[in-house]
Structure 1
Amino acid sequence: MRATRNSGLLALGGIALAALLAVMGHVGVNEDLDPWALTVSDFAVSDRGGVIDVAMVVLAAATAVLLPALRLAHRPPAARPGRAAEVLLAAWIGGLLLAAVVPTNEPGLPMDTAAYVHRYASVVAFLALPVAGWLLARRLPDAAARRVRGLAMASVALAAAMIWSAYPGDRLLLGLVERLLILTEVAVLVVVAVTLLRRVTPARAA
């Protein structure tokens, strides 16, 4: 179906643009910021309204493009494994947008209300996507399903490592772990988008 393939192509383009913007946002920031220890949000708040914030919005938009395509690609509705995956993808989108609009605090400063909103919006996004990916795997061809499930499990493991680092781990390599988590979760979206783009093997009914 042409609309589904086009949606996959648009999503991949949006993901690539978001990745490029995120890299640009890391290159032109204060040299004192340590990417191994500081999160992407720490970099973003130092360049408020800059390319990292734009990258988050673009990534949310790229995900949004996938939602109608997933509905079109898996008719009839009775064959779909419920709407939980779509709701979780919407939570990922909402979490990204809220985190982009509401900044965290500057590194080293006490957290204020905005910083807490940013933190929990990010937590919702990070947790929603791997679960959505696991559910979406039931709609995908076997090879793609295995990749998505593997990435979803890796995301959960990295999310647990990030929680450990943020609290008992005294932020040990927090920035590195978060970036690995982001890469893994974006890879879930890439696999789904590529599958929609190809549409070689019909998806299985749950």
Structure 2
Amino acid sequence: MIPRQSAWGAIAGTAVSAGALAYAQIALPTQTLLSDYALVSGGLVPVLIGMLALAGACLSLAYGLAAGDPGRTAATRVLLLAGAAGLMMSAIFPTDPSPIGSMTGEIHRWAAAVVFTSLPVAGWALARGRAAAPRWNAVRAMSVTSAATLAVYLAAHPASITSTLISGSAYYGLLERGVVLAEMVLLTAMALAPIERRPTVQTSAPPVEPQHSERSERLAA
């Protein structure tokens, strides 16, 4: 179990990140990839907020797991820290206009790869061995969904040898958004699953002792 403040901090950070990226998607000229919004006027700030807020969500969840369940969540915490580091590196080193041709762009690319791969594995590691409760099933399901969406995205990316076979260049940007959305939902599920539950207070009426009337007592006597 993790402290409620850590769980809600992770959820709040994820919500801020989703809002910032949604703003870029709606208010700015359409870009192929989400990180490309940093290259257009007015796009750098929402992209930075989105990345750093999501990094904060990963850190808040990792802190909560360290405080509430340190022995069982070591692998998950390492992966969450890797994801947070990848997001911060992606914010510090922006992408290049396609094709990538600078060291900054390469760092951004590989940092994003760390984020995309570490979070699904973190979710699966957290839920591994847990009871088949709905909250843990949700974490497992979103881990698989995130990993599957990432696999399709990588297959469709123009840098992949399979891209031309599946016409991936036409929709790989949409798949990247799918990966980001799935991992945001996964982080939320990971924050909610181990949250401390309030103890249930059960109240019961004291047993009622049978009442004997005066007449019954006389008859008994």
TM score, norm. by length of structure 1:
0.83
Q: The residue matched to 2:95 in structure 1 has which SS?
A: coil
Q: Match for residue 126 of structure 1?
A: 116
Do the aligned partners of 1:158 and 1:181 also contact (CA within 8 Å) in 2?
Answer: yes
CA contact (8 A) 1:140 1:195 kept: no
Whole-Å Cα distance in 2 between the matches of residues 139 and 51 of structure 1?
38
**Aligned alpha-carbon RMSD (Å):** 2.2
Describe the superposition over 1:82-122 as per-residue Cα deviations: whole angstroms up to 9, x where unpaired.
x221111111101111011101112x445221111111100
1:172 corresponds to: 170
Higher helix content, 1 or 2: 1
Q: Aligned partner of 2:102: which letter?
A: D
Whole-Å Cα distance in 2 between the matches of residues 180 and 153 of structure 1?
13
Amino acid at match of 1:58: A
Q: Give the distance between the partners of 1:159 and 1:44, measured in 2 at CA.
A: 22
Q: How does 1:43-192 map to 2 (within 5 A)?
A: 43-46=37-40, 47=42, 49-74=44-69, 77=71, 80=72, 83-106=74-97, 108-138=98-128, 142-166=133-157, 167=160, 168-169=162-163, 170-192=168-190
- Highest Rg: 1 or 2? 2
Q: Is the 8 A contact 2:135 2:192 kept in 1?
A: no
Contact 1:12 1:193 in 2 (8 A): yes
Q: Which has the higher contact order (CA 8 A, sep 6+)?
A: 1
Contact conserved, 2:10 with 2:58, CA < 8 A, in 1?
Answer: yes
Report deviation, 1:196.
4.0
- Partner Cα distance (2:183, 2:54) in 1: 11
Distance 1:87 1:110, change over 3 A: closer
Q: Tell me whether 85-94 or 164-173 shows the greater mean CA deviation.
A: 164-173
Q: Is the 8 A contact 1:9 1:197 kept in 2?
A: no
User: What is the distance in 2 between the residues matched to 1:86 and 1:178?
Assistant: 24
Contact 1:155–1:184 (CA<8 Å) still a contact in 2?
yes
Deviation at 1:132, TM superposition (A): 0.7
The one-letter code of the counterpart of 2:173 is: G
Distance 1:127 1:109 in 2: 22
User: SS state of the match for residue 158, structure 1?
Assistant: helix
Of residues 34, 53, 66, the one that matches 1:40 is: 34
Could you list the structure 1 runs, at least 4 aligned residues long, displaced by more than 6 angstroms after superposition: none
Q: Deviations over 1:24-58 (max 9, x none)?
A: 1222323xx34xxx111112232463111111101
Alpha carbons 1:5, 1:198 under 8 Å: kept = yes
- The equivalent of 1:24 in structure 2 is 23
The answer to whether the Cα contact below 8 Å between 1:98 and 1:118 also exists between their aligned partners in 2 is yes
**47-56 or 5-14, larger mean C-alpha shift:** 47-56
Identify unmatched segments of 5+ residues in structure 2.
200-221
After TM superposition, give the deviation of residue 136 of structure 1 in Å: 0.5
TM-score of the superposition, structure 2-length normalised? 0.78
